[in-house]
């Protein structure tokens, strides 16, 4: 059997040597460096600057960018693995890696000019966080009803408007901003711009006080006659909707990986605790009800892993993956909530207090059904796909 056929016959969860090395490196980093800081970052609602610095040093902030531009030169699947492994320890830190790679870096790799790539990708690989700014007060699921406007003025565009719920905004020095150059043209007026922190007329505003993923910053962005060079347009004027659609399709696989990692982390703590907690003279792991709960959780996690890895493999092979990405995000977010909830129950009263990690996993899980496309939007995408026969 040819090697290509052997590879195709292997289970989706099979990792090649490069992928295993990345997984093991990120897992060790997460356990040794992130884990001791999880609670402090959650309470402070702030990412530890030392953690962010190490993410850059490990090459995790531009995984797909080519080596000649400072990136790791690895695959989309590798980025998904990194998100999963970090989320096993802290889903909030995973947001940083996910948005940077699956949204920002991906957008520049696909749509930026060679000059733009040479200017920005090395910075994003070494020290610059890039945030993705699409959502507004009146455009969440209906993303293309955005109201932020961009008016041409010579060799610049003047941006006015307000963005909401922008992840990584506190740490970011670069923002991929979507605005319309012609509100009457609907989605065909939407254009993508790179806006640097410090640009006159641009302000990072209110930081949200969130239920979960609290160490991940989420802020509003304010544009008041913000003048952006026309050279900072990504892709074509009026074609920003294509960038948004395609990057979000890819980004959903990243969110699915985050939710998969969250479920794995919560399950791991539940297994360990069930072997330590004694009731009626024996560990609760010896009770069939607890065993069945852990077995159900493990089965759901394995199913989610297969779906996430399948979507990531399809995307990496440049095959159709939109339906599979929507399914992976939908299912993985449901599994994350379910597993985290049952982990809390296995801990009992201890699971309801902040001294134990499953409480945080439970709070963090809810966002999976909301950002980068709500569960209802994933169902709509899947429904259209299956009805069309794709």
Task: Tell which residue, 241, 213, 216, has the closest CA to residue 134.
Answer: 241
Cβ atoms of 88 and 268 closer than 8 Å: yes
Q: Which residue in this structure is represented by tokens 């900072």?
A: 232
Task: Tell which residue, 384, 263, 128, has the closest CA to residue 255.
Answer: 263
The catalytically annotated residue of 64, 84, 300, 372 is: 372
Residue 65 DSSP SS3: coil
Q: Which residue in this structure is represented by tokens 């049952």?
A: 342
Backbone angles phi, psi at 204, to 5 degrees: -85, 120
Tokens of 276: 């330590």
Gap between the Cα atoms of 75 and 63, Å rounded: 7
Gap between the Cα atoms of 89 and 42, Å rounded: 12
Helices (H), the chain: 3-9, 17-29, 38-44, 49-57, 76-87, 91-98, 106-111, 114-126, 240-276, 288-316, 322-347, 358-365, 375-387
Gap between the Cα atoms of 277 and 271, Å rounded: 10
Longest CA–CA separation in the chain, Å: 79
Cβ atoms of 244 and 259 closer than 8 Å: no
Query: Phi/psi zone of residue 118: left (φ > 0), alpha (ψ -120 to 50 degrees), beta?
Result: alpha
Tokens of 225: 């006659």
Residue 165 DSSP SS3: strand
184 in active site: no
Gap between the Cα atoms of 158 and 167, Å rounded: 23
Cβ atoms of 308 and 260 closer than 8 Å: yes
Active site residues: 372
């Amino acid at each position: 059997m040819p090697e290509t056929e052997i590879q195709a016959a292997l289970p989706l969860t099979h990792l090649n040597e490069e992928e295993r090395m990345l997984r093991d490196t990120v897992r060790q980093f997460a356990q040794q460096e992130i884990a001791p800081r999880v609670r402090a970052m959650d309470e402070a609602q702030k990412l530890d600057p030392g953690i962010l610095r190490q993410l850059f040093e490990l090459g995790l902030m531009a995984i797909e960018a080519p080596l000649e531009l400072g990136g790791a030169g690895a695959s989309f699947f590798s980025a998904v693995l990194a998100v999963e492994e970090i989320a096993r320890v802290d889903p909030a830190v995973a947001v940083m890696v996910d948005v940077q790679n699956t949204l920002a870096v991906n957008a520049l790799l696909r749509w930026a000019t060679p000059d733009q790539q040479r200017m920005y990708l090395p910075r994003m690989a070494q020290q610059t966080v890039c945030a993705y700014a699409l959502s507004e007060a009146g455009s969440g699921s209906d993303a293309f009803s955005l109201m932020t406007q961009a008016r041409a003025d010579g060799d610049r565009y003047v941006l006015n408007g307000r963005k909401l719920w922008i992840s990584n905004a506190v740490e970011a020095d670069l923002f991929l901003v979507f605005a319309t150059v012609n509100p009457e043209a609907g989605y065909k007026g939407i254009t993508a711009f790179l806006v640097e922190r410090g640009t006159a007329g641009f302000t990072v505003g209110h930081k949200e006080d969130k239920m979960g993923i609290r160490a991940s910053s989420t802020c509003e962005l304010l544009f008041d006659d913000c003048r952006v060079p026309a050279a900072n347009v990504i892709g074509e004027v009026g074609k920003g909707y294509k960038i948004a659609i395609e990057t979000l399709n890819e980004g959903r696989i990243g969110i699915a990986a985050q939710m998969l990692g969250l479920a794995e982390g919560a399950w791991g703590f539940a297994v360990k605790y069930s072997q330590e907690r004694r009731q009626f003279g024996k560990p609760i792991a010896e009770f069939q009800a607890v065993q069945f709960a852990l077995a159900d959780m493990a089965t759901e996690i394995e199913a989610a892993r297969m779906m996430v890895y399948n979507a990531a493999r399809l995307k990496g092979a440049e095959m159709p993956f939109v339906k599979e990405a929507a399914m992976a995000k939908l299912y993985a977010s449901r599994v994350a909530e379910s597993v985290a909830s049952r982990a809390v129950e296995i801990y009992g009263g201890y699971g309801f207090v902040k001294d134990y990690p499953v409480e945080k996993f439970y709070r963090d899980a809810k966002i999976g059904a909301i950002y980068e496309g709500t569960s209802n939007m994933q169902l709509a995408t899947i429904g259209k796909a299956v009805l069309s026969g794709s």
